[in-house]
Structures are given as C-alpha cells and as structure tokens.
Amino acid sequence: METSLELKEVQKLEGHTDRVWSLDWNPATGHDGIPLVFASCSGDKTVRIWEQNLSTNLFSCKATLEETHTRTVRSCAWSPTGKLLATASFDATTAIWENVGGDFECVSTLEGHENEVKSVSWNAAGTLLATCSRDKSVWIWEVQPGNEFECVSVLQGHTQDVKMVRWHPTEDILFSCSYDNNIKVWADEGDSDDWQCVQTLGEPNNGHTSTVWALSFNPSGDKMVTCSDDLTLKVWGTESIGMQSGGGFAPWRHLCTLTGYHERTIFSVHWSRGGIFASGAADDAIRLFVDDNSESQIVDASHSIKKHVTIDQTLLLAYDIG
Amino acid sequence: MVTGLINANPIIYEKKQRQQRSTQSLQGDEYTVEPIDHLEVFDILFANFHFCFAFTFIGYRDIKDPEHPYSLEELKVITEEAVEVNDQNSYVRVTFTPTVEHCSMATIIGLCLRVKLLRSLPSRYKVDIRVAPGSHATEAAVNKQLNDKERVAAALENPNLVDMVDECLAPSYE
C-alpha cells in the first residue's frame, strides 16, 4: 500500500525558557467555532496555554501557569470536558487547574508520591485520575465534588521508575509503562476499589528489552502502540473491545514490532484519529506509520522527516487531519 | 567525611606527552572533547566498608588529589581512546573505567562527564556515557541510568547533586 504523507511545520511557538516536556490538546476545543487550545509544560516549572486564532490560524500564548510547581512540570492532561487541567511535576505533586473566566487557578494539589511524578491521565468519564512516579508506584484518584480528589488505590508492581500512565479510551482499565521494561495493565476486580495488575507485558510476551517510554491507543481501543529505549515500536492488540462487559478482562498480545526506524531512544508515540500513528525519537526524527489492517497486521512507515530539535524532543501530537 | 580510601594502592600508568591545545581547535578535530582530559580525585565517605573515589575534573591539566598525586589519566579512568567523536553526526561517546569494580560513585562520575559535555559542546550533540565493559559489577544498571534523559534532568534539579557536580568541574589553581 502506497501512502504519501508529509509533515509540514506550520508554526514555531516560543515562550518557554527550558525544555518543553509534553503537551496536550484540549478536547473541548477545535470544533463548533471554539478555537483550538493546547497546554504545554516545561523544565521552566510553568505550563503555558496556547490558543489558535480563528482567522489567522496562528497560535498565541493565552496564559502562563506559574508559581505553583517548584520543579520541572513533566506532563499535563486536560479532563475529558476540558474544564480541568492536571499537571504532573518533578516536585512530587500533581496540580489541578480550573479555567475561571480566562484565568487558570490551581484548585487542588495531589500529594503522596515520594518523588518525581512523571505522568497523569484522566479516564474517559473524567471520574478517575491516575499518576505515576519514579517511586515505582501508580496512584488512582477519584474525582469528587468541589474539586476534591481522593486516592483510592496505590498500585505497586513495577520494580522501577514508572514513565507513563494511560487509561484505555473506553474502559476503566489503566496501562502503565516503566524503566523496568514492562507494560502493566490494571483493572478494578470488584466494585470496591480493588485495583490489581491483571496483565504484565514484558520480554516473555515479545515485549520491550529496555525502558518503555510511552503508549497510545487507536481510536477504537483494540490496539495499542508502545515505544522504547530499545529502539523499537510495538503494536499490541486485544480480542474484544467490551472487555469488562460480563466476559471479564481480555488479555493483550503482541502483534508486531517495528525495528530500524529510529537510531536512538524513542520517547513518544501517539495514535491519531486518522489511523496514523507518529513516533518521536532522540535521533531528532518524527516518523509516521499507517496501519493498513492487513491480516498480517503489518504497518508501513510512510514518511520520515529529520529536523534538528534543540529544545523539544517530545512528539507534538498530530493535528487532527480528519 | 573521609574515612579511608577504597583504592589505597592504585595502579599508576605513565602519563602521555601531549601538547597544550587551544580551544580554537574545536571544529572538525577528532579529539574535540578536550574537557575530559583533566581530572581531580578526592575521597568520599561511605557508611560501610565500601569506599570509593569521587572524581573531579577541570578544564586544564592541573589535577590535585589530596590522597594521590596522580591524575585520572594516570589512573587510566579516562583515556583518549575512550572518547569517540563523530562531529558530522554530532555524536560523542565516552567510556570510563572506575578504578574499582564496585565503585558506587560511577553514576556521579558519569553525571559529571555528561554535565561537562553539556556545558562545553554545541547543543546538537548526542552524548552517550558508559562504563568500560567488564569494569563494573552493575555496568548495565549504571549505563541505563546515565543515559536516561529524564533521570539525568531530574538529578540535575537536586541542589546537593548539582553542588557536587559543580565542585567536581570547578577549576583548581595550584
């Protein structure tokens, strides 16, 4: 299958004074006349909110969230309604921000991790939040009225620094990936916050052989792609989408490994809505992959651009190309 | 803070004769990684029987070691051969050999190496730091930590660690 895709830089945004580690699009924006918004977070300890101008299509910085985190802000995530922004920091806290009439206020601070928080993720319903840390644990927090957050579970299992947590797009199943080279899947076994590790995807399962840095689901949630310091990307699949509906948890299995596309650590991967996923690596390259859905589940690399990136080696999430 | 030396009788190698290089020779020179030439050694305390050297290094060839009047080059911790530079690909790899196999200061040494290179090389450079194969009991673990960008960044936000690194990299005048 021949697919020709091209990545074109449309704008370079300046403002942060240190490395930009991550960003997230606000899901409630970019349609119905609402200007597209995204948040970026940085080693300069701040978070910046950027908004696209509807006529010029150019982004500008609308707000800088500062004087809250005392160390690098490592990742950020908008709640599904776009009303709240969670920011995870090396200062061991996760801050929750609310947009109050154009100004962002820190309405809650989640403490508990022993050291650097690496990632934060909201579940599809916006009722649960997950965080992970170098302290090897994954925490699950329940969102309560009045912007209160209650920790309902502290998940131990990883033997090293946990790099990222991501909720499944439709089910309340949590995925984490770690410096211990494993991906872990966590589900609530009963109804009473009994969160357990229901699967570990490691070397015996055709898993990664070094730190797993990121994971991302396809829109239908039956496939996931992971990327690693072992220089590969791996695609995983599961049998059924309705994993919790009566039948219990359906395990994930390795579908294919993409090797030879990057020469250095692959830090980021993201599956966009158009059936394309993109990877970003320390070799300064962004590569796009198309899932052609053939029986052998082979994905083809369609384009590669190499661009010197001085500050940001984190993949910019692909703009929704429909 | 000092309770003793791990390596009371280090093996000393003959120091190479090398002419002084100017910083102008940075571009296109195979041995552009000048900063790691000069090292300074001092002791660090550990609570148990296991001691180790901490290495400090500076931009010029004066090395001061209160315990041993020898440089890290003479101790063969870093040699010219251990520095691989590919300027065209903006790539540097440094291989260093801690003097003792269980040297728990290996990660500090590695961090100092990385910071020194970060401060001295153009930003386009990709740097790999590793312990010489076979030279350390947990070399895979040390190498992994030294080359984890996020772990390094977090470590460099620790003021105590930064102070230690800065002290290691500070010039010393005889």
- Read off the pLDDT of residues B127-141 as tens digits, 9 standing for 90 and up: 999 988 888 888 999
Helix, strand, coil share (%) of chain A residues, nearest 5: 0, 50, 50
Contact predicate B95/B82, CB 8 Å: yes
Predicted confidence (pLDDT) per residue in A238-294, tens digit:
986 555 555 567 999 999 999 999 999 999 999 987 778 999 999 988 998 887 665
Q: Which two tokens stand for residue B101?
A: 């196999």
CATH number of the domain that residue B52 is part of: 3.30.300.130
Q: Say if B45 falls within a structural domain.
A: yes
Does the pLDDT of residue A299 top 50, yes or no? no
The domain containing residue B156 runs over which residues? Answer: 34-169
Query: Which whole-number Å values give the CA distances from B147 to B142, B143, B151, in the listed order?
Result: 9, 6, 8
Band of pLDDT at residue B9, cut at 50, 70 and 90: low
> How many separate domains does chain B show?
1
The answer to whether residue B12 sits within a structural domain is no
For residue A101 the two structure tokens come to: 């009439």
Going from the C-alpha of A265 to that of each of A151, A207, A221, A313, the distances in angstroms are: 33, 16, 25, 11
What average pLDDT does range A230-235 have in this prediction? 97
Asked if residue B93 is part of any domain, the answer here is yes
Q: Mutation target for A interface from B89, B138, B148, B158: give the one with most A CBs within 10 A.
A: B148
- Please provide the average confidence, as pLDDT, over all residues in chain B: 63
Pairwise CB contact (< 8 Å): B149 & A308 = no
Q: A4-8, A27-31, B161-165: which range is least confident on average?
A: A4-8
Mutate one of A22, A69, A116, A213 to test the B interface: name it (highest B CB count within 10 A): A116
pLDDT for position A4: 62
Contact A163 B150 (CB under 8 A): yes
Asked if A76 and A23 touch (Cβ cutoff 8 Å), the reply is yes
Which pLDDT belongs to residue B112? Answer: 85
Pairs of residues, one from chain A and one from chain B, whose beta carbons lie less than 8 Å apart: 34
Q: Which candidate from B123, B147, B153 shows the least CB-CB separation from A72?
A: B153
Share of chain B above pLDDT 90, in %: 16
Of all residues in chain A, what percent carry a pLDDT higher than 90?
77
Q: With pLDDT > 70 as the criterion, what percentage of chain A qualifies?
A: 86
Q: How confident is the model at residue B148 (pLDDT cuts 50, 70, 90)?
A: very high
Residue B4 in domain: no
As a whole number, mean pLDDT of residues A304-308 equals 38
pLDDT score at B35: 37
Q: Is residue B159 part of a domain?
A: yes
Contact A308/B124, CB-based, under 8 Å? yes
DSSP codes of every residue in chain B: -----S-SS----PPPP-PPPPGGGGTT-TT--GGGGEEEEEEE--SSS--EEEEEEESSS----SS-S--TTTTTSS-GGGEEEETTTTEEEEEE--SSTT-TTHHHHHHHHHHHHHHHS-TT-EEEEEEPTTS-TTHHHHHHHHT-HHHHHHHTT-HHHHHHHHHHHS----
First-to-last alpha carbon distance for chain B, in angstroms, is 23
**B130 vs chain A: nearest CA distance in angstroms?**
15
Residue B28 lies in a domain: no
Whole-angstrom distance, CA of residue A278 vs CA of residue A233: 10
Q: What is the pLDDT of residues A73-114, one digit of tens each?
A: 999 999 999 999 999 999 999 999 999 988 999 999 999 999
pLDDT at A213 over 60: yes
Query: In this model, does residue B10 exceed pLDDT 70?
Result: no
How confident is the model over A188-211, as a mean pLDDT? Answer: 93
Give domain status of residue B10, yes or no. no
The three-state DSSP-derived secondary structure of B57-91 is: EECCCCCCCCCCCCCCCCCCCCCHHHEEEECCCCE
pLDDT in tens, B41-59: 222 221 111 222 333 333 3
Q: What is the pLDDT of residues A127-150, one digit of tens each?
A: 999 999 999 999 999 999 999 999
Residue A189 tokens read as: 């076994």
Sign of the torsion formed by the C-alpha atoms of A118, A122, A123 and A128: positive
Residue B127: inside a domain:
yes
Is B126 in contact with A264 (Cβ distance < 8 A)? yes
